[in-house]
Amino acid sequence: MKLLFKKTAIILLKSLKGLKKVESFRGTGGLFFLPGIYLLYRKVYLWGFLIIVGRVLTMKLPLSGIFWGIIVGMFANYLIYKRYKALLKGAENRGLNEEETIEFLKREGGVSKFFAIWAIIAVGYNLFGLIYILTNG
């Protein structure tokens, strides 16, 4: 596992240095259904909280959930890329060698386990609510 992460981090470092453009209209189901929690899971905290607040404020509007899912789906990869690029720049500014950079990216980058649990709870809550509504009318 450690070797796999090391290879992935080296590939990430090399790809970020040569990457000029990010294709932004790609995503996952988590982006569409739980966009705020997905961004929190990917440690893009400011945007994640802003999306959650925006969804709560527009909850009563028709199709607002689809709107937020599409918007976040369009820009989430760019926001995540921007965050990793800033982390890489921070590692370079500290003058870290390759091993220290990998450790720094492992510690600061990646995903938040806390918000992964939140996502599981949110999906479970919604599924049980849907089952309850379907069975009890």
Interval 58-70: pLDDT, tens:
888 888 888 888 8
| Domain chopping of the chain, boundaries | 27-136
Instruction: Calculate the dihedral angle through the C-alpha atoms of 77, 26, 130, 114, rounding to the nearest 10 degrees.
Output: -20
pLDDT at 10: 56
Over residues 105-121, the pLDDT tens digits come to: 778 877 888 888 888 88
> What is the value of pTM for the model shown?
0.65
Distance from C-alpha of 130 to C-alpha of 132, rounded to nearest angstrom? 5
Give the chain's mean pLDDT.
77
